[in-house]
Structure 1
């Protein structure tokens, strides 16, 4: 968030500047707070009856569970800064780490320890051969005999792994993480984004396996941490809403915006936001909706955006089914807390064992309670549950949970279930994502308007928050210092 020195440099007239934020997801709320905290007059317009976007928490079978994001990356400290800002810094909790597992042709086994995004440092290690077999290990060993890349660098993670170590490493170790974790094919993942330093280490060490070992040594074995919030991730939404209220921000729910355009010469403010009820004049507009809605709303104000075409990984429709049930042993001795399926090996792509990850959920579920979220869908394939009614979808989810947890679930008592459908934009690591964001923002070609959201920043709360802060800061500087007409 913006520091006190930056806030102190704001001129004395920010309250005269009206900012409209279209969209009340986390990106919109964070951007609204960045403007409100320096004194600008801010209104948030949300078409739904609630704010928060995909961050939702519901009671399922007597247990309060997060339906989508249940944690956040601690990378860069950007989310932590927001939590401190809204008084939730002391509510941060850490998960019970049980590692990530992969479900494939040989059953369910833990992700090998000495890897970077599934790429092994030693193909002969027992935990690696469990997934790729002897033939896969021999093929991966050829990596040691191939010349390093000395001219240029491979950008595609999938192509790099396939070329150096073969299909089995790519398909059985790397693909489950990229498809199950981020809904993107490994061929569409940028090497330097998901594994910084790997290409340079490959040139230096002469092999991909050697590069993995070098990168791990430089990291001291550490990875970006995962954290959550006591009481669930929806508390960040509640905290943002309360903080915005402190600054007098008006949040209108059930207020769909139908268009954004230039105001008339005599309107006094340069922008006009049209809702179903009225038209609102503004000095600046922050558009915090999904890609399709942004293109439609800005069709007149920024026609270049509507026609913008960038080669990037597609948005993927997903469906998650949360199951709360009584199971023998409850959360004890189960794989997880995250199990990714080898693409095509199962109908589900990922299982999150929430009673295995969070102590609070385990306590609320009770001794024999088990809470699992089964996610369906992957690039190019509709969720297997898409055409099923609730009963059939629940039956499928139970069968997948049984296989991914290696736990018989026939005849268990199901306390409750919840279906949640959403669209997953490409992650920050996807090829073309950064270029699309740059071109989309350039297509606006107008002061006093900004675009924020996961379709530009990439999926993940840390990426969305960091991008929203940066864009809101640039916008308010332009409005307050850059001579944007009021």
Structure 2
């Protein structure tokens, strides 16, 4: 048998196991080693007022097919659900104001896209109209998306549109994030034309038109996905198993697990590191030191989700859309809120007498905000909710989930860094990496990285009985 070990039981690790299973090779035995007590990684559900609620990612981008196709393949097709609404607001200038639809990650495609919404002042709106006529050198390398947008469109657009949207995805700061990695659809245009407005307009025009929903979730929570994928993969799963070292041997690989006083060695013909960047870096130190150093340079943000169940009578009936984003310049505790029961019909069906609301707190280098007690985080979220929406009264139940170091930061030069990491790893046949640290934080991107990793290690393993030289 060919032994393949996957380090990490999140969506990337589980999907890697499933793709290996789909290869149809009877000579493969796949083992997943997960350091925590459960598989799932950043996909998790918890019971709130008797119903399951996602405490990690709650949606999958359905216009990118990998995640939805995987859910169908492992038997969750009947559980796929689409949001009842995805329109959102921005909490700024003392109220909830509609998030403009005619933008690409907050970058407007024209003046009309943002005029009249009440988010931007007249000077910013005028600057959007003038920007396509302003000269400037085309981009020749990666730059900070925040600094480039400020240079072309002014700081207000960065603060009130770009920051809340990027914060919702990366929990990072626009001035530190890579334009190339966060809005790659604009980069080709900016290589020959410096105008952001024109680039956004062309990107929107080039996007495929479809009436299909942009996002999908699962009845019962997206946290159901990883356990279903693991079951379908038929992999051997070992939780509470931290891998402390990885070494190359004459015949393959050895992974050191278990406590230092009672170490356990796991042998493998191939290894996939589907764990976060920091543990992957530690494991690669003696194997691929260049890749390990690059991985160590990826910083991470911590955040927390606060889920609250309110009596339906406590929630105003006219709250717009599915939730709102909060610009950092507003100096509020929360950075985003989802009206989960309004967004997901399955939640409303399970508990029509309740409204589930989910808030998030935390940004890159602001870990001090998360060092407060659960009670303090709930109180901060409730206070901001009341100020923004008028939701009043005591919630009937609450749940706080902290995600320490959960979100890799795609700093300027991230794509070049990932190319160097992959080149360093590829120099060792039978070794691959997968996960959110590389090509995207979303579930579909992690599934795509899993497929690539599975393909890479399979190519290094000849079928049983094959002669090698």
Shorter-chain TM-score bucket reads 0.7 to 0.9
Matching residue of 2:337: 351
C-alpha distance in structure 1 between counterparts of 2:302 and 2:51, whole Å:
26
Structure 2 counterpart of 1:47, from 21, 35, 39: 35
Note if 1:170 corresponds to 2:155. Answer: no
C-alpha distance in structure 2 between counterparts of 1:447 and 1:224, whole Å:
40
Question: How far off is 1:237 after superposition?
Answer: 1.5
Matching residue of 2:390: 407
Note if 1:67 corresponds to 2:49. Answer: no
Note if 1:300 corresponds to 2:282. Answer: no
Question: How far off is 1:80 after superposition?
Answer: 2.3
Give CA deviations for 1:74-111 in whole Å, capped at 9, x if unaligned: 24311122123212233221111241211123421111
Matching residue of 2:305: 320
Note if 1:130 corresponds to 2:118. Answer: yes
Question: How far off is 1:320 after superposition?
Answer: 1.4
Taking structure 1 as reference, are residues 22 and 436 closer, same or farther at Cα in structure 2, changes over 3 Å only?
same
Instruction: Give the match's secondary structure for 2:121.
Output: helix
Taking structure 1 as reference, are residues 254 and 484 closer, same or farther at Cα in structure 2, changes over 3 Å only?
farther
Note if 1:28 corresponds to 2:17. Answer: no
Structure 2 counterpart of 1:372, from 353, 357, 360: 357
Taking structure 1 as reference, are residues 112 and 436 closer, same or farther at Cα in structure 2, changes over 3 Å only?
same
Structure 2 residue ranges without an equivalent (≥5) = none
| Contact in 1 for aligned 2:9/2:39 (Cα 8 Å) | yes
Question: How far off is 1:390 after superposition?
Answer: 2.3
Matching residue of 1:120: 108
Give CA deviations for 1:142-183 in whole Å, capped at 9, x if unaligned: 314412655747744323321221111121111110123322
Question: How far off is 1:121 after superposition?
Answer: 3.3
Matching residue of 1:13: none
Structure 2 counterpart of 1:392, from 364, 376, 399: 376
C-alpha distance in structure 1 between counterparts of 2:135 and 2:171, whole Å:
32
Question: How far off is 1:407 after superposition?
Answer: 1.8
Question: How far off is 1:51 after superposition?
Answer: 0.7
How many positions carry a matched residue from both structures? 458
| Contact in 1 for aligned 2:333/2:381 (Cα 8 Å) | no
CA RMSD in angstroms, aligned pairs only = 3.0
| Contact in 2 for aligned 1:20/1:285 (Cα 8 Å) | yes
* Stretch deviating more after TM superposition (190-199 or 91-100): 190-199
Question: How far off is 1:447 after superposition?
Answer: 1.3
C-alpha distance in structure 2 between counterparts of 1:316 and 1:18, whole Å:
34
Matching residue of 2:322: 337
C-alpha distance in structure 1 between counterparts of 2:215 and 2:162, whole Å:
20
C-alpha distance in structure 2 between counterparts of 1:331 and 1:235, whole Å:
31
Matching residue of 1:10: none
* Stretch deviating more after TM superposition (89-98 or 188-197): 188-197
Taking structure 1 as reference, are residues 242 and 135 closer, same or farther at Cα in structure 2, changes over 3 Å only?
same
Taking structure 1 as reference, are residues 167 and 95 closer, same or farther at Cα in structure 2, changes over 3 Å only?
same
Give CA deviations for 1:416-467 in whole Å, capped at 9, x if unaligned: 333333323336x753332222222333331111111212233110111101
C-alpha distance in structure 2 between counterparts of 1:328 and 1:484, whole Å:
71
C-alpha distance in structure 2 between counterparts of 1:229 and 1:285, whole Å:
31
C-alpha distance in structure 2 between counterparts of 1:199 and 1:271, whole Å:
40
Structure 2 counterpart of 1:83, from 63, 71, 78: 71
Matching residue of 2:414: 433
Structure 1 residue ranges without an equivalent (≥5) = 1-15
